Amino acid sequence: MPGRDFSSNAPQFGTAQYARQGGPDQCKTCNQPIGAEYYRINGALACPNCAQLAATKLPKDSHAKFVRGVIFGLGGAILGLILYSAVGILTGLIIGYVALAVGYIVAKAIKMGSGGIGGQRYQIAAALLTYVAVSMASIPIGIAQYVKARDAHHTAAHGAVTQSPRSQELSLDDPDDSASSPHAAAQPPARPAPHPVNFGAILGTLLLEGLISPFSQFYRNGPTFSAMIGLVILFVGIRIAWQMTDDSGAKAVLGPFRS
């Protein structure tokens, strides 16, 4: 129509235009206006209805879930101990980097048992189980090394023992000589009665030696570089287990707050 100006409705290509955004007083979930009370879900504004719905979906911690998480973590620690021991026995080396995998396995098992719930007590359990699994792996590794050394010693001793030619000649020429000897009728000396084995004391000693094994090298061989590196790697594995069982990443509903 003549005389009517349409320039006010025409798009301005030289000027940036933005869509209208929701104001700061709107729920970030449903975009409804915030009333007198509001909540925060992971820091974002939320109305009471959305906050209540989010709270119902949050996993609830309980004593039963904690016990279940610790049981699963114990299973993970046993698996980690077997893994660490197997690597040490098969390779003949103490590879400290396996402690990182042990920490991950323990933390993953605890989170699986607790249904994804974490927290300080889960972190403490994960750290303790990781340390116990890595330190106690020194027991089967030490036993395997002892058995190998003993077998090698017996093999070397058996190869060094040879029968003298004179004893062979006597046994072939006069087989009844030993029977006519005055010492033949002598009875062998009586063996002393074996002492009873205290398995409880042996087990306690093994457990104590295993628990202090990460630090035993310091007072036996001094603070060597390899011992310090192994200890650092162990604490890194414990830190992995600690961080994985943290609950800081879980959804948090805070409030109510007054506008």
pTM: 0.65
87 and 143 in contact (C-beta within 8 Å)?
no
| Per-residue model confidence as pLDDT tens digits over 230-245 | 889 999 999 999 999 9
- How many whole angstroms separate alpha carbon 53 and alpha carbon 189? 86
**Bigger pLDDT: 19 vs 72:** 72
Half-sphere exposure of residue 47, counting CA atoms within 13 Å on the CB side?
13
- Share the mean pLDDT of the chain: 76
- Across-strand partners of 33? 26
Torsion, Cα of 213, 214, 217, 222 (10° steps): -150
Is pLDDT at 40 greater than 50 in this prediction?
yes
Residue with tokens 């005389």: 3
- Across-strand partners of 225? none
What token pair was written down for 183? Answer: 């010492």
Is pLDDT at 199 greater than 70 in this prediction?
no
